[in-house]
Amino acid sequence: MESKYSILLSLLMLQCLSLLCVSQSQDFDFFYFVQQWPGSYCDTKQSCCYPNTGKPAADFGIHGLWPNYEDGSYPSNCDPSNSFNQAKISDLISNMQKNWPSLACPSSNSIQFWTHEWEKHGTCSESVLSQHGYFDTALSLKGKTNLLEALKSAGINPDGNSYSLVDIKNAINGAIGYTPWIECNVDASGNSQLYQIYLCVDNSGSDLIECPVFPKGKCGSEIEFPSF
């Protein structure tokens, strides 16, 4: 009888742990809002392919809105039952084609890119954002954070020249009021270049905040800002 009780207790504990894991997967501390410079995506050995709609504008494009924990880890693929559904964002498609284009090869309509972002990252925020709300929030954040204008106003232009990493951070902080994290990649010649800019957003998706933690990685003190 005692062994049956022990087994039942163990099963109940496993069930509780399982439920805890599910609830934790919906819980997160903040978002990274990540935008990428298309010129740097394309100026690599791998190169790029423009979407079916043509060459995107010479502006930062959205990469994603990623739930994160303050210890630097992050949840992913939180709800396999809530797959990407284009019909839920039909009113956003033209805006997304402009501001959230895929540059991966082969050329595409960017649906695969958006599917990946929703299913890997967006499902982990569904406790606060619906599928439509997730994409709409990211588009709204891009409108609030005009990175290219912030950099150009500080004399930092996508002209292939090198700029101080400190000056780039200061230009964005001065315009937006929050400290960015800069990710670099390397061009075909191995030079460090401005690739992605991370800003942090509270866990409601409403307001920019100072980042509780920055990703790992490092840029040089001088980095290229390639044209596109």
Q: Which of the residues are catalytic?
A: 63, 117, 121
Complete DSSP assignment for 66-119: EEE-TTS-------TTS---GGGGGGGHHHHHHHS---PSSP--SHHHHHHHHH
Strands 162-164 and 222-224, by their bridges, are antiparallel
Q: Which of 186, 168, 170 is nearest to 178 (CA)?
A: 170
Sign of the dihedral defined by the CA atoms of residues 76, 80, 84, 89, in that order: negative
